[in-house]
């Protein structure tokens, strides 16, 4: 692999990293996140695939049924850490799906199908680890204590191992709902009829609530009253309003009140009698994962389905409890919405008019994700227009016309970084949008998609398996699905990690990661779109170019994409591309040049060259020649 070459080129150009190796010392803006669905990464311990007392059929030994457990666990991640897999790739933070104890089965979920809680989002006990994920013995053979104590110790050891490798751990958490811990006694017989849909899912009630909710007690599915004992183990803490099919896409208030299929919505309204107790309970639940276990941050699920006031109180009280440690911890949320006004809302407190401090540190940038897919995610060598992608880049700094505030809170947190700098940049994940690479999408295009993630603003996040070009073969363009939640490395195939390291995709991504690490402009700089396929000429078809630059313009990197199957140009002979920033300020000084960085692991046959600059008064202009299906980096020297 030649990723070291890329890093050396940037360092020689004076664009070196900050040199801090320790995970706890590294700014979040310097991190590259790797998101792993723990159950689907690698089965490192076959002994936990069917926990004591659970039904054996909930586990699929063949690892093919996407609705059942596949056996991936903390031990699988530990083995990858131990082998240096993540270090070789270059990622610096692991985001894992919720590790807490789940309800293990639901007879009725999406499409009225039975599903298991393999993904971790169906909490039964917020304070315990799920036995599907933990082992009885440590990596060095020590026997863990029995029960909850041993499970938490394994988690503690996993985090310690990651830290020893210089890698942070981000825990996925949920405050919006639990798993199907109670049923609706539709026939009034006082018993749970597991084969009757009405006892799992009731229609949404605008007024009042369903008064027939009863705690379930199905030990073989771990379908039990919510733990730990406290406000969450009381039925009055839940809305019990039933399920509304359109709630996920709504912003009218219904989205914070209803169940999602058989998942039970928690009442987070600020005027509810239990509000303060609920906020305090979640702080008591989640703070120890940072204080005791050692995790470095939380990814927060279903943010827009919880009242804004709850997030304001939760974030403030959690940070207060953590004290100085709060400045090292990231809290970023997931709101399944492409509107920057909705996304950015949660970086502001609900009482923003009087208190400008950040609420959540950042959000998963779905606006970027969907617009980048519109440009990149096509079959073969087809491509879309990058206008939406350009807009998303501008919106990260902008706001609604005539609005009182930017979309994202500019006020920095305790670490000195603001919500724009801690926006999470991604192009695929486990939600319905599916993997980037489905049937028809090439491995080459998958590399270019990750190149977009790794060269734009925010904290980049890669989805497990993308470094091997993992394809959801049953997935289709234009159709949302979960077919991408497949097992990455099959049980017993641990040797495959070594083969993946030698693959072209792994080399390309590790090379791009090295380029990002070696460049302050790529990590911290602003983004100035420079050229979008004009439509006026075929010579720039499929082209999108932007600059990453520090505000003092001491470091500038131009990033150029060409999705066409032919060599194209950025800029036209009669209209050369202006190399200017967001305020039309020149990014090149007289006497400087644009030099291409030879990303040999990314572009086959890539060569170093210097682009000839033209000056239109005080405006530097250039026409860049771009190889077919490529990403090229140009540094200003």
- Confidence band (pLDDT; 50, 70, 90) for 2? very low
pLDDT digits (tens, 9 = 90+) for 122-158: 999 999 999 999 999 999 999 999 999 999 999 999 9
**Residues β-bridged to residue 33:** 93, 461
Q: d(Cα 542, Cα 491) in Å, to the nearest integer?
A: 41
Residue 168, Cβ neighbours under 10 Å: how many?
A: 25
In a domain, 336, yes or no: yes
- Region 584-603 average pLDDT: 92
pLDDT at res. 603? 82
Asked whether residue 636 carries a pLDDT value surpassing 80, the answer given is yes
Query: Does residue 29 sit in the same domain as residue 171?
Result: yes
φ/ψ of residue 610, rounded to 5: -115, 135
Query: Does residue 400 sit in the same domain as residue 416?
Result: yes
**Residues β-bridged to residue 178:** 264
Where a domain ends, among 471, 490, 517?
517
pLDDT at res. 252? 81
CATH number at residue 382: 3.20.20.80
Query: Does residue 465 sit in the same domain as residue 388?
Result: yes
- Between 249 and 372, the more confident residue is 372
pLDDT at res. 247? 79
Q: d(Cα 143, Cα 71) in Å, to the nearest integer?
A: 21
pLDDT digits (tens, 9 = 90+) for 389-399: 999 999 999 99
CATH number at residue 620: 2.60.40.1180
- Region 429-457 average pLDDT: 96
- Region 590-604 average pLDDT: 89
Please give the model's pTM, rounded to 2 decimal places: 0.96
pLDDT at res. 8? 42
Where a domain ends, among 501, 517, 533?
517
pLDDT at res. 10? 56
Q: d(Cα 534, Cα 262) in Å, to the nearest integer?
A: 48
**Per-chain mean pLDDT for the chain:** 94
pLDDT digits (tens, 9 = 90+) for 22-72: 787 899 999 999 999 999 999 999 999 999 999 999 999 999 999 999 999
Query: Does residue 545 sit in the same domain as residue 579?
Result: yes
Query: Does residue 608 sit in the same domain as residue 511?
Result: no
pLDDT at res. 253? 86
pLDDT at res. 13? 44
Where a domain ends, among 487, 517, 547?
517
pLDDT digits (tens, 9 = 90+) for 506-545: 999 999 999 999 999 999 999 999 999 987 789 999 999 9
pLDDT at res. 438? 96
Query: Does residue 404 sit in the same domain as residue 314?
Result: yes
Query: Does residue 506 sit in the same domain as residue 553?
Result: no
pLDDT digits (tens, 9 = 90+) for 249-261: 778 889 999 999 9
Asked whether residue 468 carries a pLDDT value surpassing 60, the answer given is yes
Query: Does residue 532 sit in the same domain as residue 508?
Result: no
**Residues β-bridged to residue 213:** 184
pLDDT digits (tens, 9 = 90+) for 471-484: 999 998 988 889 99
Place of tokens 């040049």: 593
Asked whether residue 104 carries a pLDDT value surpassing 90, the answer given is yes
pLDDT at res. 246? 81
CB 572 within 8 A of CB 534: yes
Residue 55 vs residues 59, 69, 285, 288, 525: alpha-carbon distances, Å: 8, 11, 28, 31, 52
pLDDT at res. 605? 64
Total count of domains within the chain: 2
Query: Does residue 326 sit in the same domain as residue 293?
Result: yes
Query: Does residue 485 sit in the same domain as residue 555?
Result: no
Per DSSP, the three-state class of 5 is: helix
Asked whether residue 173 carries a pLDDT value surpassing 80, the answer given is yes
Q: d(Cα 373, Cα 435) in Å, to the nearest integer?
A: 11
pLDDT digits (tens, 9 = 90+) for 322-336: 999 999 999 999 999
- Region 426-433 average pLDDT: 94
Asked whether residue 276 carries a pLDDT value surpassing 80, the answer given is yes
Q: d(Cα 632, Cα 620) in Å, to the nearest integer?
A: 19
pLDDT at res. 24? 74
- Confidence band (pLDDT; 50, 70, 90) for 21? very low
pLDDT digits (tens, 9 = 90+) for 287-304: 999 999 999 999 999 999
- Between 169 and 432, the more confident residue is 169
Query: Does residue 464 sit in the same domain as residue 536?
Result: no
In a domain, 331, yes or no: yes
The range of the structural domain enclosing residue 610 comes to 522-636
Q: d(Cα 301, Cα 179) in Å, to the nearest integer?
A: 14
- Confidence band (pLDDT; 50, 70, 90) for 15? very low
In a domain, 252, yes or no: no
> What is the percentage of the chain residues whose pLDDT exceeds 70?
96
pLDDT at res. 103? 99
Query: Does residue 554 sit in the same domain as residue 508?
Result: no
Asked whether residue 11 carries a pLDDT value surpassing 70, the answer given is no
């Amino acid at each position: 692999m030649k990723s070291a070459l890329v890093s050396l080129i940037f360092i020689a150009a004076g664009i070196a990293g900050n040199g801090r190796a320790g995970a706890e010392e590294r700014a979040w803006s310097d991190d590259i996140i790797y998101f792993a669905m723990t159950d689907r990464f690698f089965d490192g311990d076959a002994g936990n695939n069917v926990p004591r007392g659970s039904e054996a059929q909930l586990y699929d030994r063949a690892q093919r049924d996407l609705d059942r457990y596949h056996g991936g666990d903390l031990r699988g991640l530990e083995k990858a850490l131990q082998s240096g897999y993540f270090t070789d790739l270059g990622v610096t933070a692991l985001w894992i799906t919720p590790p807490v104890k789940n309800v293990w089965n639901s007879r009725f979920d999406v499409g009225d199908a039975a599903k298991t809680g393999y993904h971790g989002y169906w909490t039964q006990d917020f304070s315990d680890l799920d036995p599907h994920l933990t082992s009885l013995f440590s990596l060095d053979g020590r026997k863990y204590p029995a029960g909850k104590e041993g499970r938490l110790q394994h988690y503690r050891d996993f985090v310690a191992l990651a830290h020893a490798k210089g890698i942070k751990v981000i825990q996925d958490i949920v405050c919006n709902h639990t798993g199907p811990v109670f049923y609706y006694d539709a026939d009034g017989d006082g018993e749970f009829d597991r084969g009757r849909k009405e006892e799992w899912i009731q229609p949404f009630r605008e007024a009042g609530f369903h008064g027939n909710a009863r705690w379930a007690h199905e030990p073989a599915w771990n379908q039990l009253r919510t733990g730990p004992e406290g406000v969450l183990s009381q039925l009055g803490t839940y809305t019990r309003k039933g399920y509304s099919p359109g709630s996920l896409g709504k912003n009218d208030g219904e989205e914070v009140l209803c169940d999602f299929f058989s998942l039970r919505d928690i009442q987070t309204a600020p005027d509810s009698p239990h509000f303060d107790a609920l906020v305090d309970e979640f702080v008591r639940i989640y703070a120890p994962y940072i204080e005791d276990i050692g995790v470095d941050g939380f990814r927060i699920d279903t943010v827009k389905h919880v009242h804004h006031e709850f997030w304001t109180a939760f974030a403030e009280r959690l940070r207060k409890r953590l004290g100085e440690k709060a400045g090292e911890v990231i809290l970023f949320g997931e709101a399944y919405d492409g509107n920057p006004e909705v996304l950015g809302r949660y970086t502001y407190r609900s009482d923003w008019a009087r208190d400008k401090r950040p609420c959540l540190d950042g959000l998963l940038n779905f606006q970027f994700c969907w617009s980048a897919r519109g440009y990149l995610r096509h079959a073969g060598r087809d491509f879309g227009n990058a206008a939406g992608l350009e807009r998303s880049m501008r919106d990260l700094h902008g706001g609604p016309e005539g609005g009182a505030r930017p979309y994202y809170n500019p006020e920095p947190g305790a670490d000195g970084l603001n919500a724009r700098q801690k926006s999470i940049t991604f192009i695929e994940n486990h939600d319905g949008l599916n993997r980037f690479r489905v049937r028809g999408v090439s491995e080459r295009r998958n590399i270019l998609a990750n190149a977009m993630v790794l060269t734009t603003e925010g904290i980049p996040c890669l989805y497990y398996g993308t470094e091997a070009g993992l394809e959801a073969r049953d997935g289709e363009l234009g159709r949302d699905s979960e077919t991408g939640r497949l097992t990455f490395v099959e049980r017993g195939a641990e040797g495959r990690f070594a083969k993946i390291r030698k693959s072209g995709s792994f080399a390309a991504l590790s090379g791009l990661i090295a380029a990002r690490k070696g460049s302050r402009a790529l990590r911290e700089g602003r983004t100035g779109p420079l050229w979008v396929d004009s439509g006026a000429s075929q010579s720039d078809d499929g082209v999108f170019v932007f600059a990453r630059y520090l505000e003092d313009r001491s470091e500038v990197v131009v990033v150029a994409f060409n999705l066409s199957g032919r060599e194209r140009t950025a800029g036209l002979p009669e209209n050369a591309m202006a190399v200017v920033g967001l305020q039309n300020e020149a990014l090149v000084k007289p006497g400087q040049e644009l030099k291409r960085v030879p990303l040999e692991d990314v572009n086959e046959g890539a060569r170093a060259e210097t682009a000839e600059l033209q000056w239109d008064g005080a405006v530097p202009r250039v026409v860049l020649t771009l190889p077919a299906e490529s990403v090229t980096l140009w540094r200003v020297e």
